[in-house]
Amino acid sequence: MKKVRITVNGRVQGVGFRYTTKMLADQLGITGTVKNESDGTVTIEAIGEPQVMAQFIEGVKGSPSPVGKVNDTTINEDPSIETRDTFDVVYS
């Protein structure tokens, strides 16, 4: 399993980005979390098979929200991400 932390910059808050990211993750079988950050970015912790993770990352880069716009992503593998059974929206 591949574990990655993705920081997403752009028009990603207030546009349904977290919920559509959850829908994409559920569709692909990715587990983890998505949450808004105080600086306007969104942080995603995702766990999945490498081939599926590549699909998920491409979907995030293209913005799963039709009214969102991703300007930049930072992706780092992080084996310390907690294993989860579901993909959840985290509320701050």
Q: Could you tell me if residue 87 is inside a domain?
A: no
Per-chain mean pLDDT for the chain: 97
Residue 45 belongs to domain spanning: 2-81
Cα(80)–Cα(66) distance, rounded to whole angstroms? 32
Q: Could you tell me if residue 90 is inside a domain?
A: no
Count: domains in the chain: 1
Residue 45, pLDDT score: 98
Q: Could you tell me if residue 89 is inside a domain?
A: no
- Is the pTM value of this prediction over 0.75? yes
Structure tokens, 8: 């997403």
| Residue in the block written with tokens 């950050």 | 37
- Residue 18: how many other CB atoms lie within 10 Å: 23
Positions marked active-site: 18, 36
CATH of the domain at 13: 3.30.70.100
Q: What is the pLDDT of residues 19-56, one digit of tens each?
A: 999 999 999 999 999 999 999 999 999 999 999 999 99
Cα(58)–Cα(67) distance, rounded to whole angstroms? 17
